[in-house]
Amino acid sequence: MKFVIKHELNNRLRIHLPMNNMTFRQADCLEYYLIGFDEIKEVKVYERTADVVIFFDCDKSKVITIVKEFSFDKVEVPESVYETSGRELSAKYYDKIVTSVILHYGKRLVLPLSIREVWVALKTVKYALKGLLTLKNKKLQVEVLDAAAITASTLTEDYKTASSVMFLLKIGDILEEWTHKKSVDDLARRMSLNIDKVWLINEGEELEVKSSDIKCGDNVVVRMGNMIPFDGEVTGGEAMVNQASMTGEAVAVHKTEGMSVFAGTVIEDGELTIRVTQTEGCGRFDKIVKMIEESEKLKSNLESKAERLADSLVPYTFMASAITWLFSRNITKAVSVLMVDYSCALKMAMPISVLSAIREASEYGITVKGGRFLEAVAEADTIVFDKTGTLTKAKPTVVKVVSFNGEDEEELLRQAACLEEHFPHSVARAVVEAAENKGLSHEELHTKVEYIVAHGIASEIDGQKAVIGSYHFVFDDEAVIISEDKKEEFNSLPDNYSHLYFAKNGILAACILIEDPMREEAKEVVEKLRSRGFKHIVMMTGDSNRTAAKIATEAGITEYFAEVLPEDKAGYIEKAKAEGRKVVMVGDGINDSPALSASDAGIAISEGAEIARQIADITIGSSKLDSIVILRDISQLLMNRIKFNYRTIVSFNTGLIVLGLAGIMPPATSAMLHNGSTVALGLKSMTKLIPET
């Protein structure tokens, strides 16, 4: 691809492609290609001018080579990338605003005054009908007030004021709709599927393959805690499926043979074999968008209060206008009061503030499913952390396999990996990766595997019952014993590692030592959260007390609970809420799901189990825990902005009403200042809460 460098700074290039403009698909294709390179950190493609801004952290020559090798014909872009792109949406609303401005001011330059007045009168009818329809539905809302103000201006032959009010209302509606749709699409894009590999049934065997290789008619297996990757029909097994991403209802639905299942839903319990009926282009993104738009979760309590207040103030505005006319008999003063209301600004600024905050959070890799949860994070005084994969690194590693039955350690690791590869947990991934690193092939050795939440896995290997999991599961629940000659070795196992126990036929076969170091930033994050108002910072884990104490001390956490079950975590949160506390829960596993549901705001680590992300109200990138601090900052700044908007709207518009009553300010000026301030406040509400550094 040929191009011209238009401008360059340190680690930044602006280039121009040899074309006047790009189509939306071309722009998406180029962005998809460039962002796929590790050396390139950020890309901005401007389809209107065929310009591209590239931010990178390598030698400039490398970037130039990457761009030169690009060709629209050679890059294969998944259809989902085009489906979820917001590029066309932004262009559509940009064009709407530009067209509205050109038409509004163009009419003044081109059309004679008499024609403009007729045009305004005709447009007034539309607003009047809208107001009457609202009254017909027995609602006295802002639409009625707008209709009255515009109609009154037209009847008093103040066409300029009526035209200005209608223009500003239109711009305000476009900005509000644009911000809403963009924020919803950004959120839906992050909730869309991102499944790389699936289990394919091929001639009776399970093979892990790329999801892109799956065709209609293939049979795939999905187990507990995993997301269903495709629309399909159940051909085997039964399960409870959480369909919240499609229907908004979090209550699990029982699925058995012959029933349909949908991509994006998650298996809470059980296992399904699914015959794929649709892979791409089935409108999953549109379904998610619809679910979000219809969800009341998008509204925070403050936002809902503002909307109710906005509607409740409309009658008082009419009353003030009527009283003004009765006492002054001055229609100009009465119309001045009608031109100013609190409702318009309150209804516009509040939702835009919330949706802009959600979009800003997404730029930090934080997916928030509604304004209500930002409010909960802002008000929370208690935060509960899971340990494994949350406070500790998301990628624990196997340090050593200790054999207790005389079998070769690598053979025991191979068998353990064969069991663990089916389930979404960071420790399970560590075992599988350890086997891969040693080149240990582990074709299916076992019969059907059963996952017991927060405990472990049970199956059969070569006719022997095999279990792998926690101490409580293996020794207490399964009554596994340790050979007499191995007890001393067992008691001397090092305490500075997490222990995963593997047993066959009721006898301990191996202990897998897992290194699960604390995240480097954990201690600093805990300190920052404490400084931002969290009075109770708690750690809960199913690990032993000694392991929990070690991590808690390193992280600076004084309140922790060890050897807890999922119901214990949820029980603690319910008790804290009963005491009047606002609780945030942070976790990543299937066993965290009850606690995530019970909390005021559940936060899931993005690399955790699918069910945790599905149930959670907020998902953060797992690379750094600093995202939680950023989330707290955004939430608190949003609440401050909403309160500021409320004070500004009330004080400014009250001032306009007083000036109108005093006869100091004519209706045209009142309307201009009122609507102008509403749009200005809306634009201000779209700005970033955390300033860029």
Domains and CATH numbers, the chain: 4-77 (3.30.70.100), 197-292 (2.70.150.10), 365-392+518-634 (3.40.50.1000), 397-515 (3.40.1110.10)
Give pTM, 2 decimals.
Answer: 0.71
Percent of the chain with pLDDT over 90: 25
464: helix, strand or coil: strand
Does residue 288 have a pLDDT over 70?
no
Does residue 577 have a pLDDT over 50?
yes
CA distances from 89 to 92, 146, 284, 349, 607 (A): 5, 28, 18, 21, 30
* Mean pLDDT value across the chain: 82
Which comes out higher in pLDDT, residue 539 or 324? 539
**Phi and psi for 542 in degrees, rounded to 5?**
-85, -5
**Secondary element (H or E) of residue 30:** helix 24-35
Query: For position 607, what pLDDT does the model report?
Result: 67
Q: Take residue 571 and report the two structure tokens written for it.
A: 């029980």
Query: For position 191, what pLDDT does the model report?
Result: 58
Query: For position 246, what pLDDT does the model report?
Result: 58
Contact predicate 613/353, CB 8 Å: no
Residues in Cβ contact with 314 at an 8 Å cutoff, skipping those fewer than 6 apart: 140, 141, 142, 144, 145, 341, 343
- Nearest Cα to 140, choosing from 315, 317, 321, 304? 315
Tell me what the mean pLDDT of segment 205-228 comes to.
Answer: 82
**C-alpha R_g of the chain:** 30
* Residues facing 398 on adjacent strands: 514
Query: For position 188, what pLDDT does the model report?
Result: 65
Q: Ranked by mean pLDDT, which of 278-282, 413-417, 574-578, 685-689 comes out on top? A: 574-578
Query: For position 75, what pLDDT does the model report?
Result: 87
At 593, the pLDDT band (50, 70, 90 cuts) reads confident
At 296, the pLDDT band (50, 70, 90 cuts) reads very low
At 337, the pLDDT band (50, 70, 90 cuts) reads confident
Residues of the chain by 3-state class (helix, strand, coil), percent to 5: 50, 20, 30
Q: Ranked by mean pLDDT, which of 420-429, 527-536, 554-563, 680-689 comes out on top? A: 527-536
C-alpha to C-alpha distance for 314 and 342, rounded to whole angstroms: 8
At 517, the pLDDT band (50, 70, 90 cuts) reads confident
Which comes out higher in pLDDT, residue 530 or 624? 530
Which comes out higher in pLDDT, residue 228 or 533? 533
Does residue 403 have a pLDDT over 90?
yes
Query: For position 609, what pLDDT does the model report?
Result: 61
Query: For position 213, what pLDDT does the model report?
Result: 79
Q: Between helices 343-363 and 159-191, what is the axis angle to 10°?
A: 30
Q: Ranked by mean pLDDT, which of 280-289, 389-398, 627-636 comes out on top? A: 627-636
Query: For position 282, what pLDDT does the model report?
Result: 47
pLDDT tens across 63-76, in order? 999 999 999 988 88
Query: For position 490, what pLDDT does the model report?
Result: 92
CA distances from 642 to 67, 181, 372, 507, 636 (A): 44, 20, 13, 62, 10
pLDDT tens across 115-159, in order? 999 999 999 998 889 888 888 777 777 778 778 878 888 888 888
C-alpha to C-alpha distance for 148 and 204, rounded to whole angstroms: 72
Does residue 481 have a pLDDT over 90?
yes
Tell me what the mean pLDDT of segment 219-232 comes to.
Answer: 84
**Secondary element (H or E) of residue 47:** none
Does residue 89 have a pLDDT over 70?
yes
Which comes out higher in pLDDT, residue 195 or 112? 112
At 459, the pLDDT band (50, 70, 90 cuts) reads confident
Q: Tell me the helices (H) and strands (E) count for the chain, helix number first.
A: 24, 24
C-alpha to C-alpha distance for 482 and 403, rounded to whole angstroms: 11
pLDDT tens across 35-74, in order? 889 889 889 999 999 999 999 988 889 999 999 999 998 8
Contact predicate 535/584, CB 8 Å: no
Q: Ranked by mean pLDDT, which of 72-86, 170-184, 241-255, 448-462 comes out on top? A: 72-86
At 314, the pLDDT band (50, 70, 90 cuts) reads confident
Which comes out higher in pLDDT, residue 240 or 408? 408
